[in-house]
Amino acid sequence: MDFKKLANQYKDELLNNVLPFWLQYSQDKEFGGYFTCLDREGKVFDTDKFIWLQGREVWMFSMLYNKVEKRQEWLDCAVQGGEFLKKYGHDGNYNWYFSLDRSGRPLVEPYNIFSYTFATMAFGQLSLATGNQEYADIARKTFDIILSKVDNPKGKWNKLHPGTRNLKNFALPMILCNLAMEIEHILGKDYLEQAIDTCIHEVMDVFYRPELGGIIVENVDVNGSLVDCFEGRQITPGHAIEAMWFIMDLGKRLHRPELIEKAKNTTLTMLEYGWDKEYGGIYYFMDRNGCPPQQLEWDQKLWWVHIETLISLLKGYQLTEDKRCLEWFEKVHDYTWAHFKDTEYPEWYGYLNRRGEVLLPLKGGKWKGCFHVPRGLYQCWNILKDL
């Protein structure tokens, strides 16, 4: 495997294809913030603004400015998005709405915790890029609110009846593993290590299930027990695999090789479990008992699932030299570039059917924005150039 050639492939795709697409088509020069609903060619097909995708784009261009190159157009893009978020994204007390209309009027209440997590990431990275203390304060205040909501992330907007089936979900502890490292410069080292211990325990002791062969489940009850219901049987291979590269980063940061090894092995287990043996690619949702999943899109192949898997496999190889990671990387790389990359227009497709055919030709929407593709390209480039 030619690591140098691969590194250049990922770098070139990031800098000359994907980033120019978002810079050119996503910025709302009139009202601020970003359009994320972009068709195959980059035309805007809906002007609503989703807070978590606004935050992700602020984070992306701030991070690239901080870590790749001090390009003024990247900083300008991040700052204008950050200012739009600061002005319109929350209710005045850093409760972050789910969505706004184009001009910034709230459409959906602050029920979604990921509006908060990506606002925190955005302002944490933007504060580093600009040196602006106000941005750091917004990140810190929002992070404190996230921690206060851990037991009931949706708050008063929770539609579940209390007390009957109290489940907790994998997504929040998973994202906190990444978020804590993202804002270490704001939290401080001691606070970080205390927060991280809790997150690692949740991900690797509660949701990781050795009795199921070492896979990760998406929901357990509040006592950490498995539950036999749609949510309790749900397996989301992409989520689990993405979380493993967060855990590997933490293992490296904390000098815990046994944690890295466990995360690498879990990546391989989840990939073997989630790979479609007939058509290739990774399933979106699965049921651990083989029952019909409740999500009708369960067998679709999604961009983020495959890109996050590439990161985890490369990190696994870089940190443990396990050759199985490279073998799987080659397989997933070939599938991903053959199916998700649009060879005629910039940026990548997001949604394929089970057979790997393009289901929706959009480049961005309510759930896909300027995040997984560029972050994945950056991460893979960064690892490959050092191999």
- pTM for the whole structure: 0.97
Token code pair at residue 2: 């030619």
User: Two tokens at 311?
Assistant: 């990161």
- Which residue from 141, 149, 199 is spatially nearest to 175, judged by alpha carbons? 199
Structure tokens at 342: 């649009």
Instruction: Spell out where 159-228 has E strands.
Output: 167-169, 208-209, 215-216, 219-221
pLDDT at 189: 80
Query: Encoding tokens for residue 236?
Result: 């989301």
Tokens of 326: 């490279």
Q: Which of 200, 274, 205 is nearest to 239 (CA)?
A: 274
Q: Give the burial string for 11-31 (b: 16+ CB within 10 Å, else e).
A: bebbbebbbebbbebbbbeee
Contacts of 188 (CB under 8 A, 6+ apart): none
Residue 208 β-bridge partners = 216
Report in angstroms the alpha-carbon separations of 268 from 110, 263, 298, 350: 36, 9, 20, 23
The predicted pLDDT at position 2 comes to: 97
The pLDDT of residue 107: 98
Whole-number pLDDT of residue 232 = 98
The CB density around residue 223, as the number of other CB atoms within 10 Å, is 8
Output the six-digit token pair for 289.
Answer: 């008992």
**Could you read off the pLDDT tens digit of each residue along the chain, which spans 387 residues?**
999 999 999 999 999 999 999 999 999 999 999 999 999 999 999 999 999 999 999 999 999 999 999 999 999 999 999 999 999 999 999 999 999 999 999 999 999 999 999 999 999 999 999 999 999 999 999 999 998 988 888 888 888 888 899 999 999 999 998 998 899 999 888 877 777 888 999 999 999 999 999 999 999 999 999 999 999 999 999 999 999 999 999 999 999 999 999 999 999 999 999 999 999 999 999 999 999 999 999 999 999 999 999 999 999 999 999 999 999 999 999 999 999 999 999 999 999 999 999 999 999 999 999 999 999 999 999 999 999
CA separation (Å) from 302 to 26, 215, 367, 381? 21, 20, 11, 21
Q: Is residue 330 within 8 Å of 309, Cβ to Cβ? A: no
The torsion angles phi and psi of 99, rounded to 5 degrees, stand at -150, 160
How far is Cα 113 from Cα 286, in angstroms, rounded to an integer? 24
Number of alpha carbons in the 13 Å side-chain half-sphere of residue 20: 9
Q: How far apart are CA 309 and CA 295, in angstroms?
A: 21
**3-class DSSP assignment, residue 34:** strand
Burial of 131 (0-12, 13-18, 19+ CB in 10 A): exposed
